[in-house]
Amino acid sequence: MSPYPPAIEMRGITKTFPGVVALDNVDFMVEKGEIHALLGENGAGKTTLMNILYGFYQRDKGEVKVYGESVNFKNPREAMTRGIFMVSQHFSLIEEFTPWENVAMIYRGSGLTINKREVIVLLTEVMSNYGIFIENLEVPIKKLSVVDKQKLEILKALICGGNILIFDEPTSVLPPQEVDALLNTIKKLNNRGKTIIYVTHKIGEVYRIANKVTVLRAGKNLGTFDITEIKPETLVELILGVDRKFEKTYENFSESNIIVQSGVASLNPEEVVLEISNLSYLDKREGRQLKIDNLVVHKGEVVGIAGLANSGQKTLVECIIGVRKADRGDIKFKNIHINKLPPHERISLGISILPEDRMTEGIYPELSIQVNASAGHHKIHPLKELKNIATSIVKEFNVKAKSLRDPIVVLSGGNIQRLLVGKTLTKKADLYILFHPTRGLDIRSTSSVHEKILSMKREGKSFIIISEDLEELAKLSDRIVVMYEGHINGTVERTEKGYDLYKIGELMTGGKIG
């Protein structure tokens, strides 16, 4: 036992939302200087527990102590004064401002005015102290990569004297090769005496950095374990709850089964669904460029698109849809030249899209779950049927909703993702373009979405899947196209043994494979 009081001690925390008990009498204790992982499926209550600690929600019952002192944070600002900071999935940065300006927002130097030099000196000092570097401090945040944004969030917390840092699913927004760097950064912070709470649903990451792990399931604490004393299998069982259904899905998820199902089907080279040739697009102001010489999607084919964040995947999709007008080139969909058509006409020809950012491009925030689930279906089905369609989507894709009349925003992130995936996959179309189809989903939902995609593929539907999860791409795709700085840097075909992920990684970072 440590002689000091624990950094965080939460006892008997209970929190209910209308109709749902999010947390039921949860105890959670973090010793000073630990990296403590908080593990659980979507909707297990991890984020809710952290939001209570952070003062974002108020608890119904229970007690919170920070360094042995009873506290009652009414808002995150009060938590910050005690040195508790959260690096969340959605960054709290002002997109129009530069990094140093964002720091200046929270750091008041001497005097009334903001001293740019002072802020930059401070920022560089903290950067070199902790070895977290952002190269360009003078461009607006919106032009920075996700990695830099995350670094800046961490730096902000450090500058404000953060001692207890909460990371909420930090790797879910990162490209795979940046995960190592982040985990190293977190370890480095820990070595400097920072207490870390690491919220995640990925067991692998827990083993890579944490000392202790606490497992939540359905709002209950299933125990805290020393990482050296618990086996991964036991953790998986705890997270999911042991039952036979789980064992079945886990088998499906693990390796071979799916690969065999999807193995390069007999593609008919004649039946081209989408053909892009010599497409180019340049927007200097936004710094977006695209140059695609040739990209073909056949009937019944799944084409995976790999690439670092912002490598032109989104620009490509926006050019296919017509949200952006390509400068040059030709796009043929089902043998129709669609270059000149407006977006809605292209989509009516049979394209269904799961947009990249589910909160800003996917949902209609004020509208009901029913409208959100059935929007877009109204192009084909009469209005009277929309309710039935929404009901069946919610059922088939296991969206946990109390009433279809509730606004969509009452749903958790995972449920929103399932709903949007459901909406996209049930639309009648020939080509489905999916951004990160299983982002934020737990093992069970992920494997059922994968199964659905593969069964639709067998029915002759075509897919373009953009994902940051290379294993997911490897499982689903018939071939993987790698994008780098707005062009296709190479195509990797499936071999007997699957994909050469190393090769894909090389291509993603600009390497050329002979």
Partner 1 sequence: MDDIFRVTFRLMRSINFINKINRHLVRRILLIIGIYIISIITSLVLTSLTLIVIDMKAPLDFFHTLYFAVLSDPIRFSNILTRTIPVWLIALGISCTLRVGFYNIGGDGQFLFGAILALGLVDLFYGLTGGVLPGPIYIIFALIGGILGGVLSIVIPLLLKVWRNSSEVLATILLNNIAFLLVELLVLVLWRDPLVVEPVSFAIPEVARLPLLVPRSSLHFGVIVPVLLTILIYFIFNKSVLGLEFLLTGVNKSAAIYDGVNIKKSMIVAALLSGGLAGLAGAIELLGVSYRLFRGLTVGFGTAGVIVAWLSKSNPLVIPAFALLFSSLFATADALQRTLQLPVGFVYTTFSMMLLVLIFMEKTFERVR
Residues found near partner 1 in the complex (CB under 8 A): 18, 321, 323, 342-344, 347-348, 353, 355, 360-367, 371, 375-376, 378-379, 383, 403, 405-406
- How far is the CA of 237 from the CAs of 28, 83, 206, 240, 310, in angstroms? 20, 35, 15, 5, 36
Note whether 123 and 137 are within 8 A (CB): yes
Q: C-beta of 59: minimal distance to partner 1 in Å?
A: 16
Q: C-beta of 426: minimal distance to partner 1 in Å?
A: 13
> Closer to partner 1 at the Cβ: 264 or 380?
380
Q: C-beta of 108: minimal distance to partner 1 in Å?
A: 28
| Separation of alpha carbons 177 and 166, rounded Å | 22
Burial 284-317 (b: 16+ CB within 10 A, else e): eeeebbbbbeebebbbbbbbbbbbbebbbbbbbb
Q: C-beta of 421: minimal distance to partner 1 in Å?
A: 13
Q: C-beta of 35: minimal distance to partner 1 in Å?
A: 35
Both structure tokens of 356? 């990249």
Q: What is the dihedral of CA 422, 167, 230, 65, to 10 degrees?
A: -120
Note whether 465 and 293 are within 8 A (CB): no
Note whether 291 and 489 are within 8 A (CB): no
Q: C-beta of 180: minimal distance to partner 1 in Å?
A: 33
> Closer to partner 1 at the Cβ: 242 or 367?
367
> Closer to partner 1 at the Cβ: 192 or 378?
378
- CB neighbours (10 Å) of residue 34? 21
> Closer to partner 1 at the Cβ: 131 or 365?
365
Q: C-beta of 227: minimal distance to partner 1 in Å?
A: 40
| Separation of alpha carbons 383 and 396, rounded Å | 20
- CB neighbours (10 Å) of residue 229? 9
Q: C-beta of 346: minimal distance to partner 1 in Å?
A: 9
Q: C-beta of 457: minimal distance to partner 1 in Å?
A: 21
> Closer to partner 1 at the Cβ: 160 or 409?
409
> Closer to partner 1 at the Cβ: 63 or 78?
78
User: Helix 386-396 crosses helix 413-426 at what angle (to 10 degrees)?
Assistant: 120
User: Residue 281: which of 335, 332, 317, 334 has the closest Cα?
Assistant: 317
| Separation of alpha carbons 58 and 365, rounded Å | 23
- CB neighbours (10 Å) of residue 243? 9
- CB neighbours (10 Å) of residue 366? 9
> Closer to partner 1 at the Cβ: 166 or 347?
347
| Separation of alpha carbons 446 and 438, rounded Å | 6
